[in-house]
């Protein structure tokens, strides 16, 4: 096994130990549009004073209960620290979310692959540049959708 | 067993001392508690033991209380040893833990202060009252008030566990009133008795908060509540200004320098 862990081919289709069940419908917890970090504006009403989730693009696909456990009650911005361009804009937007939109908390949810930690770094930089201070949480998701860590940073 | 779970821990330990010894083995130090009014179920719940440990603890307590009862022992899988839990605080709670550090630095100096008071010809009233000012302003007003007015409001502040914390604060304030009276009268014995009692009380109190109470409260807080509490604590700090914590940190540094010099003389 070699190469970038972020793009290495892995197949989990034979995974057998599946917990949970498929009964019932799960409503979407998304309460805004747009969601991509280049498209969202910190001035948008859905950010004012809210708890904000900054999610790596892949996280919502990996995590089975993403809507129920992480998106519910929060506003969201999504980004990919590996492929997106002009990421300095993200740092400024996070600063503005903290200082201007006066968000309550920021939760960064990333995948376990090394390149994804770049998103946590962007969040830290934005938070450090802001004059207001808020609690920032980092959640790391394993490739098979398990939570590897969840801590305030 | 439900009846026992809803009984006060002191009552249980007084009737069945073995229960106190069992709790002690699990790091649950209720035996020396001055109040002991927490219910057994809360005592077990607050310590966040892993499910296997909790099942074994409850089995042993039940056997100690009802030795004749046929209780089946929970199967403990020794291959599944749980990793030791690392305490991780949310940012507002971490700030309170950090404030404990400065208070603990004063507590560490108290034996030297007592020795200095005892060996001086006349009580150094100014020094004693400066320590009292640190305790009343930094430990009590700046720190304990954030606990009482903000942190404890996020749980049921009528819960016995929180009431024990309030009681500790009150007992501490009583000891400090006695220390002031001792300093005013030049009564060395009174100062010594109450400042040492304060030290013992606060040492245990801070340990309980850092290791048990704060993590227990943190586990119940939602992300939204963490953000809200962080803002309220910052507002409380801003209302007294940045200079207050800096002033008392300088005081502790000076005190440490003074007593370090006394020791090395």
pLDDT of amino acid B80: 55
CA atoms within 13 A on the CB side of B85: 12
**Quick one: pLDDT at residue B61?**
87
Spell out a b/e string for B183-199, using b for 16 or more CB atoms within 10 Å of the CB, else e.
beeeebebbbbbbbbbb
> Does B208 have pLDDT greater than 60?
yes
Bridge-based pairing of strands A136-141 and A105-111 is: parallel
Cβ neighbours of A133 in B, within 8 Å:
230, 234
A37, two tokens: 């970090």
pLDDT at A7: 79
User: Is CATH 1.10.3910.10 what the domain over B2-65 is classified as, yes or no?
Assistant: yes
Binary contact (B91, A135; C-beta < 8 A): yes
- Chain A, nearest residue to B223 by Cα: A105
CB pairs under 8 A between A and B: 34
In which band, very low, low, confident or very high, does the pLDDT at A138 lie, cut at 50, 70 and 90? very high
Burial class (CB in 10 A: 0-12, 13-18, 19+), B54: middle
| Closest residue, chain B, to A51 (C-alpha) | B224
Where exactly are the structural domains of chain B? 2-65, 91-264
Inter-chain touch A152–B89, beta carbons under 8 Å: yes
The residue of chain A nearest to residue B86, with distances taken between CA atoms, is A151
Distance from CA of B215 to the nearest CA of A (A): 13
**B127-173 pLDDT, tens digit each:** 999 999 999 999 999 999 899 999 999 998 788 888 889 999 999 99
Query: Backbone phi, then psi, for A105, in 5-degree steps?
Result: -150, 165
* Arch. (CATH architecture) of B91-264: Up-down Bundle (1.20)
Q: How far apart are CA A62 and CA A111, in angstroms?
A: 8
Helices (H), B140-220: 145-149, 160-185, 188-208, 214-220
Amino acid B265: pLDDT:
59
Single pTM value for the model: 0.81
Chain B residues at the A interface, defined by Cβ less than 8 Å, are 88-92, 94, 223-224, 226-228, 230-231, 234
Question: Are A137 and B89 an interchain contact pair (Cβ–Cβ within 8 Å)?
Answer: no
Q: Residue B35: pLDDT above 90? A: no
Domains identified in chain A and CATH numbers:
45-152 (3.40.50)
Is B83's pLDDT higher than 60?
no
Which residues of A fall within a CB distance of 8 Å from B231? 104
User: Helix B17-25 and helix B51-65: axis angle, to 10°?
Assistant: 160
Per cent of chain B over pLDDT 70 is: 91
Q: Concatenated DSSP letters for chain A?
A: --S-TTT-----TT-----S---S--------S--BTTT--TTSGGGTT-EEEEEETTHHHH-TTIIIIIITT-EEEEE-TTT-S-THHHHHHHHHHHHTS--SEEEEEEESSGGGHHHHHHHHHHHHHSSS---EEEEEE-TTS-EEEEEE-
Tell me, what's the ipTM?
0.88
How sure is the predictor about A118, in pLDDT bands with cuts at 50, 70 and 90? very high
Res. A18: pLDDT tops 90: no
Question: With an 8 Å Cβ cutoff, are A107 and B231 in contact?
Answer: no
Question: A36 is written with which tokens?
Answer: 């991509």
Using the predicted structure, report yes or no on whether residue B81 has a pLDDT greater than 80: no
């Amino acid at each position: 096994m070699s190469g970038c862990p972020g793009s290495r081919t892995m197949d989990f289709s034979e995974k057998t130990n599946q917990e949970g069940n498929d009964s019932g419908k799960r409503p979407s917890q998304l309460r805004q549009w747009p969601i991509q970090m280049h498209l969202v504006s910190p001035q948008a009403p859905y950010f004012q004073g809210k708890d904000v989730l900054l999610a790596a693009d892949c996280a919502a696909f990996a995590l089975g209960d993403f809507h129920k456990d992480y998106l519910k009650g929060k506003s969201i911005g999504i980004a990919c620290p590996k492929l997106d361009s002009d990421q300095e804009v993200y740092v400024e937007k996070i600063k503005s979310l903290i200082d201007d939109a006066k968000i309550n908390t920021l939760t960064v949810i990333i995948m376990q692959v090394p390149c994804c930690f770049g998103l946590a770094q962007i969040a830290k930089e934005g938070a450090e540049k802001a004059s207001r201070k808020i609690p920032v949480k980092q959640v790391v998701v394993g490739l098979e959708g398990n939570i590897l860590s969840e801590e305030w940073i | 067993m439900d009846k026992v779970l809803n009984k006060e821990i002191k009552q249980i330990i007084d009737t069945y001392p073995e229960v106190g010894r069992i709790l002690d083995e699990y790091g649950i130090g209720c035996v020396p508690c001055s109040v002991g009014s927490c219910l057994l179920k809360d005592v077990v719940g607050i310590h966040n033991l892993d499910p296997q440990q909790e099942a074994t603890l409850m089995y042993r307590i039940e056997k100690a209380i009802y030795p004749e009862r046929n209780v089946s022992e929970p199967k403990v899988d020794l291959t599944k040893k749980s990793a030791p839990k690392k305490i991780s605080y949310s940012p507002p709670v971490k700030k309170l833990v950090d404030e404990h550090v400065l208070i603990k630095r004063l507590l560490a100096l108290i034996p030297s202060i007592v020795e200095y008071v005892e060996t001086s010809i006349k009580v150094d009233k100014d020094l004693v009252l400066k320590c009292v000012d640190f305790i009343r302003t930094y430990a009590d007003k700046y720190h304990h008030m954030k606990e009482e007015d903000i942190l404890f409001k996020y749980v049921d502040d009528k819960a016995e566990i929180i009431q024990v914390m309030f009681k500790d604060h009150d007992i501490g304030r009583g000891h400090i009133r006695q220390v002031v009276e001792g300093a005013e009268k030049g009564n060395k014995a009174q100062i010594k008795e109450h400042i040492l009692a304060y030290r013992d009380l606060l040492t245990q109190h801070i340990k309980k908060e850092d290791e048990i109470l704060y993590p227990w409260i943190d586990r119940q807080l939602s992300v939204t509540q963490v953000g809200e509490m962080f803002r309220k604590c910052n507002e409380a700090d801003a209302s007294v200004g940045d200079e207050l914590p800096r002033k008392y940190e300088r005081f502790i540094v000076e005190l440490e320098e003074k007593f370090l010099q006394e020791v090395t003389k």
